[in-house]
Amino acid sequence: MTLSSDELQAAAKQHLWMHFTRMSSYNDGDIPVIVRGSGPYVYDDKGKRYLDGLAGLFVSMVGHGRTELAEAASKQASELAYFPLWSYAHPAAVQLAARLAELAPGDLNRVFFTTSGSEAVESAWKLAKAYFKRKGEPARYKVLSREYAYHGTSMGALAVCGLSAIKHDFEPLPPGGVRVPNTNFYRAPEFVADDEATFGVWAADEIERAILREDAESVAAVYLEPVQNSGGCFTPPPGYFQRVREICDKYGVLLVSDEVICAFGRLGYYFGAERYGYVPDIITFAKGVTSGYSPLGGMIVRDELMEPFLQGHATFLHGITFAGHPVSSAVALANLDVFERDNILGNVRSNEDGFRATLDKLNDLPIVGNVRGAGYFYGIELVKDKSTKETFNDDESERLLRGFLSHALFDAGLVCRADDRGDPVIQLAPPLICTQEHFDEMEQILRSVLTEAWAKL
């Protein structure tokens, strides 16, 4: 049964509960309905084309409409649609685990699959707790993460988040979440604002101070994204991760690199840890592993973390029915084939400077305070006053971001994200197949809509 556009609107408004969405904002307007995609573009139910500047939700790495990925799914579903990883293996999950272990840095050789990023983040916390219990350090349960960082929505993952606004409705959360500063150099405290490396040492040392404050023997893990998404693409200052690694080693704390966004080419490498030259204890991933052609997530862990579970009666008492689903695993393998065949990482590495330079042109607009990011992952921070970096108050932010920018950018043909979970930013993370013509298209749309936004203020 195919519904007409009007029928889709009526049914969506009556039955569909959209995620993280203020449903009332569609009382007087249409819900956008996306019906197909091709390369870096998607099309709505009326045939209008949009440049997918966010790869869906940081997902569509190789772009839309790749029939070879659909065919991989179809072939696997015909052969073996489902079997669990509870006491059994199936070839697609085995091959994918081996391939991810090969790609991951250091001795991160064990892959525990999930279906989503939140489950990956939560699984890493559960593993850290269970591992330390078996190692004779049962008091370790706390997790450190950075201000504004987003790590997912299930209760455990939510407790890892550094965004208080999304937690209030669901408190009390599991205890143990502790916040440390993020690496937003644009808003660095004055005493370290002159030099990014000095700022980085301070930010890393704040992790040590938090570990000591909390009692080192109670801390299990530190969760960091290679480039922090929420707040607007905070890149790590030079030396930051090396210092964090030293601190984690000194206090026996696990370093979790949450790469749900940053893995699989977003930063020009299979893993962000590789770009920034550190070896974490656990990498969490999801999203880009399948480019969204089927859902999958997981964690890749160091050999040592699995050792206690390889002996006697020991079991990691944790599992998810659809984790490592055969169809998703087969799609992930086919996705990695596309990465190799089409030199997806090479495309990001050779074009990222052009992307950056194109977005940097927007710096001449009075509303653009800071353009930051790496690879194919950028945040544009909007300000009320460029010279003082003054940001918008709640009311202005509401009018600007929710009331105008989100809709205006979409209406102008660009999918991106206007986010005010920290200071107001526009986030861009397009499919990794984009080239200069797409960067120019983004810049032109942003220039015209941001100019209009400034005039409306």
Ligand X SMILES: Cc1ncc(COP(=O)(O)O)c(C=O)c1O
Three-class SS state of 381: strand
Closest contact distance (angstroms) between CB of 131 and ligand X is 20
Q: For residues 167 and 147, what is the distance between their CA atoms, to the nearest angstrom?
A: 13
How many alpha carbons lie under 13 Å from residue 300 in its C-beta half-sphere? 28
Is residue 358 a contact point for ligand X (CB under 6 A)?
no
Question: Which of 116, 145, 235, 291 is in the footprint of ligand X by CB under 6 A?
Answer: 116
Closest contact distance (angstroms) between CB of 60 and ligand X is 14
Contact between 183 and 228 under an 8 Å Cβ cutoff? The reply is yes
Of residues 145, 140, 104, the one with CA closest to residue 280: 104
Closest contact distance (angstroms) between CB of 292 and ligand X is 11
Is residue 152 a contact point for ligand X (CB under 6 A)?
yes
Stretches 37-45, 112-120, 239-247, 272-280: which one binds ligand X (CB under 6 A)? 112-120
Q: For residues 52 and 2, what is the distance between their CA atoms, to the nearest angstrom?
A: 25
Nearer to ligand X, 181 or 272 (CB): 272
Nearer to ligand X, 105 or 152 (CB): 152
Which residue do the tokens 């993370």 mark? Answer: 429
Is residue 117 a contact point for ligand X (CB under 6 A)?
yes
Question: Which of 55, 221, 227, 261 is in the footprint of ligand X by CB under 6 A?
Answer: 261
Angle at 409 between CA 405 and CA 410, to 5 degrees: 120
Contact between 220 and 143 under an 8 Å Cβ cutoff? The reply is yes
Nearer to ligand X, 271 or 392 (CB): 271
* Consecutive H or E run containing 369: strand 368-374
Q: What is the DSSP-derived secondary structure letter of residue 39?
A: B
Q: For residues 281 and 248, what is the distance between their CA atoms, to the nearest angstrom?
A: 10
Q: At what angle do helices 326-341 and 344-360 cross, to 10 degrees?
A: 70
Q: How many residues bind ligand X (CB under 6 A)?
A: 14
Question: Which of 118, 123, 347, 358 is in the footprint of ligand X by CB under 6 A?
Answer: 118
Nearer to ligand X, 41 or 377 (CB): 377
Determine the distance from the C-alpha atom of residue 190 to the mean position of all C-alpha atoms in its chain, rounded to a whole number.
29
Beta partners for residue 285, in sequence order: 298
Closest contact distance (angstroms) between CB of 354 and ligand X is 25
Question: Which of 132, 150, 276, 410 is in the footprint of ligand X by CB under 6 A?
Answer: 150
Nearer to ligand X, 200 or 292 (CB): 292
Which residue is closest to ligand X by CB?
Answer: 117
Nearer to ligand X, 125 or 202 (CB): 125
**φ, ψ dihedrals at 427, nearest 5°:** -105, 135
Is residue 159 a contact point for ligand X (CB under 6 A)?
no
Beta partners for residue 356, in sequence order: none
Question: Which of 100, 121, 224, 255 is in the footprint of ligand X by CB under 6 A?
Answer: 121
CA 319 to each of CA 87, 122, 126, 160: distance values in angstroms, whole numbers, following the listed order: 11, 11, 11, 20
Question: Which of 129, 142, 151, 417 is in the footprint of ligand X by CB under 6 A?
Answer: 151
CA 249 to each of CA 82, 126, 281, 301, 303: distance values in angstroms, whole numbers, following the listed order: 40, 20, 10, 16, 16
Is residue 286 a contact point for ligand X (CB under 6 A)?
yes
Stretches 43-51, 116-124, 210-218, 395-403: which one binds ligand X (CB under 6 A)? 116-124
Closest contact distance (angstroms) between CB of 447 and ligand X is 28
Of residues 151, 198, 138, the one with CA closest to residue 177: 151
Residue 456 in tokens:
């409306």
Nearer to ligand X, 261 or 449 (CB): 261
User: According to CB under 6 A, which residues from 221 to 260 bind ligand X?
Assistant: 225, 229, 258, 260
Map residues 315-354 to x or -, x wherever contact with ligand X holds by CB under 6 A: ----------------------------------------
Contact between 289 and 263 under an 8 Å Cβ cutoff? The reply is yes
Is residue 375 a contact point for ligand X (CB under 6 A)?
no
Q: Which residues bind ligand X (CB under 6 A)?
A: 116-118, 121, 150-152, 225, 229, 258, 260-261, 286, 297
